[in-house]
Structure 1
Amino acid sequence: MDHLNGNVDDFGMDTISLAGTLEGKLRAIREAGFRQVMLSARDVVGHPDGLQAAVQAVLDSGLRVTGFQVLRDFEGLSGHLHDYKVDIAKSMLEMCAALGSKILLVCSSTSTHAATDPDVLAKDLRKLAMLAVPLGIKVAYEGLSWGRTVNEFTTAWDVVCRADAPNLGIGLDSFHMFAMQTPLDDLEFLDPEKIYLVQLADFMWQEIRSVEERITTARHFRVFPGEGVHTDAVADLVTRLHQLGYRGDYSFEVFNDDYQQLPLPVVAQRARKSAVWLGEGVLRRSVPLPNQIRLRRRAAR
């Protein structure tokens, strides 16, 4: 891959964005021209023929696995709750390894039962990272915008630094960054070698006025980069990460109820337009935004 100049192969889709069977999703993603896929645990364990059949489907697809998601509400618990989550984490890590994924995505806790002390959170994440070491898996910690203690990438980064584990890094999600209006200048504090994954999405309104609206938008109304009102911000984010030295993967994590009602190839091609714009337009500055050619031609008449 041409990581020096940016390339559409740096971008992949998440199975969560598509309806249908796992095999159908993988086929649509591959036929749209993508070479990598982010796997949702629900798509894997929900296979009618079981986990091994799902693993085989992924291997047969020829797609590289960007990462596996998502472990939720892990850090900050104690007693039997902590033991329960450690057991869940071990199972997630085993599935992650079976699928050939090198990254497990972990979202910051929303539980009111979790501690708020960042050192306690860091200790638990360090433990999780150590469980992942024998499997050769990296743990990407992402700050949910409705997380109880960690709700921005800046606080997620602080916890990652406190944990100081060799295979623990940060996961970035553009939706949560834009929803919280976290200054992109703060990206300068990150070590690009510790950014393990970047998930991209846009949405249709400039401002989110409540936590409830934030959750609803995140789970039902995301769109692909270039389709919403934060086009310039997405372009700025990708450009800044490239300038920072990030050369890892980007995945489109788009939860959208409308897309769940459309044929798989239609949705996958919408994602492909975004990949071409970002890979060849933003990072190479060679093509316009999606749908802008038609608009410019009309304006010229």
Structure 2
Amino acid sequence: MNHLHAFGMDTITLAGPLEAKLQAIAEAGFGQVMLNARDLTSHPGGADAAAAALRASGLRATGFQVLRDFEGLSGHLHAYKVDIAKQMLRMCEAVGSRVLLACSSTSAHATQDMDAIAKDLRKLAMLAQPLGIRIAYEGLSWGRTINEYTTAWDVVCRADSPNLGVCLDSFHILAARTPLDALDDIDADRIFLVQLSDFLWQETKTFEERMATARTYRVFPGEGVHEEQLTGMLLALERIGYRGDYSFEVFNDDYQQMPPAFVAERARRSAVWLHDDVLHRPGALPIDG
């Protein structure tokens, strides 16, 4: 029985081969996993073996990541990224994922024209549509033009494609200190993924500090210092009617040195806290250990 039906983990959080990660996530009680392209490309048996391992684990693919720096380019740079996007979409389809994560561009070569960005995102959505894949667009807090969820939502609305929506990442919202009241302006049906993590200090003052913190010292919700803001974010999402997936995306150098089962148990405790004490979703979660 899948007790943690609304929650999943990102393979990036865990050390070891894909099979060990999937086993730890499943044994912790989760029913889904967020996959990274490297899970396929670095698997000794290749992409087909990685997809078979996922099927054998019984876990559902929450989504597939990550397409970077796609939008706002022109000429040969745009053509190059379109080729990359097509391959990412094929890999996404191979593991049965219905969501591809695309992060806002950090490239100095990309235009800052919002309509041009929207046009490229519409093109990406059109490439994904025949495969039945949705594009979840995430505003990185160090993105060149799109660095808050509010502007990510703005450009998604401009693109106006039914299979293009947003990914909300609590780290980037907390790091950028974007007000949560703007969540009320988002259509919950166009939120395709919510990624959750916290971090261990109150603020990140520069883009460089944000990147370093994001890539090395995220922790699970309940382990950091932004519990009040995280709680407010989840309650706001519930209020506007979001009923989709929550995925723990926790980049942490310490966790990369720990056994996967140890880290997955920390994730399970976080999910139980969020479910029982924050969201109060129906269906009891077991609290043991």
TM-score (norm 2): 0.96
Aligned to 1:116: 112
| Rounded Cα–Cα distance in structure 1 between residues aligned with 2:15 and 2:83 | 30
Residue among 163, 186, 193 paired with 1:190: 186
Residues 4 and 29, structure 2, Cα contact 8 Å, conserved in 1? no
Match runs of 1:285-296 below 5 Å: none
CA deviation string 1:210-234 (max 9, x = no partner): 1111000000000000000011111
1:285 Cα deviation (Å)?
A: 8.4
Residues 9 and 32, structure 2, Cα contact 8 Å, conserved in 1? yes
Aligned to 2:160: 164
Aligned to 2:5: 9
Aligned to 1:298: none
Aligned to 2:123: 127
CA deviation string 1:90-117 (max 9, x = no partner): 0000010110000000000000000100
| Rounded Cα–Cα distance in structure 2 between residues aligned with 1:159 and 1:209 | 26
Aligned to 2:259: 263
| Rounded Cα–Cα distance in structure 2 between residues aligned with 1:182 and 1:10 | 25
Aligned to 1:231: 227
Residue among 237, 256, 278 paired with 1:282: 278
- Secondary structure in 2 aligned to 1:9? coil
Residue among 65, 69, 94 paired with 2:61: 65
Aligned to 2:136: 140
Residues 194 and 247, structure 2, Cα contact 8 Å, conserved in 1? yes
Residues 11 and 279, structure 1, Cα contact 8 Å, conserved in 2? no
TM-score (norm 1): 0.92
In the TM superposition, structure 1's runs of 4+ consecutive aligned residues that sit over 3 Å from their partners are none
CA deviation string 1:36-66 (max 9, x = no partner): 0000111221101111111111111100110
Change (3 A) 1:58 1:82: same
The alignment status of 1:212 with 2:208, answered yes or no, reads yes
| Rounded Cα–Cα distance in structure 2 between residues aligned with 1:68 and 1:236 | 27
- Secondary structure in 2 aligned to 1:75? coil
| Rounded Cα–Cα distance in structure 1 between residues aligned with 2:243 and 2:41 | 31
The alignment status of 1:35 with 2:31, answered yes or no, reads yes
- Secondary structure in 2 aligned to 1:8? coil
1:240 Cα deviation (Å)?
A: 0.8
| Rounded Cα–Cα distance in structure 2 between residues aligned with 1:236 and 1:223 | 18
Match runs of 1:43-58 below 5 Å: 43-58=39-54
The alignment status of 1:22 with 2:22, answered yes or no, reads no
Aligned to 2:89: 93
Report % sequence identity.
67
CA deviation string 1:68-96 (max 9, x = no partner): 00000000000000000000000000010
1:8 Cα deviation (Å)?
A: 3.2
| Rounded Cα–Cα distance in structure 2 between residues aligned with 1:236 and 1:41 | 32
Residues 8 and 280, structure 1, Cα contact 8 Å, conserved in 2? no
Aligned to 2:195: 199
| Rounded Cα–Cα distance in structure 1 between residues aligned with 2:52 and 2:41 | 13
- Secondary structure in 2 aligned to 1:266? helix
Residues 8 and 34, structure 2, Cα contact 8 Å, conserved in 1? yes
- Secondary structure in 1 aligned to 2:43? coil
Residues 69 and 106, structure 1, Cα contact 8 Å, conserved in 2? yes
How many residue pairs get matched? 283
Structure 1 unpaired stretches of 5+: 287-301
Q: Which amino acid aligns with 2:123?
A: K
| Rounded Cα–Cα distance in structure 1 between residues aligned with 2:109 and 2:7 | 37
1:274 Cα deviation (Å)?
A: 0.5
Q: CA RMSD in A?
A: 1.5
